């Protein structure tokens, strides 16, 4: 198991990714974008209910991949910034002698 996966399990032990709930206005915008995509790119009409089903499907089946990538990106950024702080602290050290 990769190190990041182990660390993530330790940090999130007992926690689970919560179901995503969008406010009504935001979900309506997402539905509109899905309908536009189907119309413009696939030349197919899709109803609002079908678009909501797609949102629910992607939320359940696909969002964990995006979530995990977000965690990985955050871990990378955290590691980079921690290293920077370490170097800055070293620069503050006074010579002893």
Give the pLDDT confidence score for residue 75 in this predicted structure: 97
Confidence band, pLDDT 50/70/90 cuts, at residue 11: low
Cβ burial, residue 31 (10 Å; 0-12/13-18/19+): buried
- Per-residue pLDDT of 46-79, as tens digits, reads 999 999 999 999 999 999 999 999 999 999 999 9
pTM over 0.85: no
Domain ranges for the chain? 20-91
Give the pLDDT confidence score for residue 21 in this predicted structure: 84
How much is the mean pLDDT over the chain?
Answer: 88
Radius of gyration of the chain, Cα coordinates, nearest whole angstrom: 22
Query: For residue 80, how many other CB atoms are within 10 A of its CB?
Result: 10
């Amino acid at each position: 198991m990769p190190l990041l996966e182990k660390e993530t399990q330790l940090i999130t032990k007992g926690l689970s990714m919560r179901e995503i709930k969008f406010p009504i206005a935001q979900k309506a915008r997402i539905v509109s974008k899905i309908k536009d995509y189907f119309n413009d790119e696939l030349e197919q009409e899709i109803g609002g209910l079908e678009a909501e089903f797609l949102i629910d499907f992607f939320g359940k089946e696909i969002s964990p991949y995006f979530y995990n990538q977000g965690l990985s990106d955050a871990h990378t950024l955290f590691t980079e910034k921690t290293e920077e702080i370490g170097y800055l602290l070293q620069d503050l050290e006074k010579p002893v002698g």
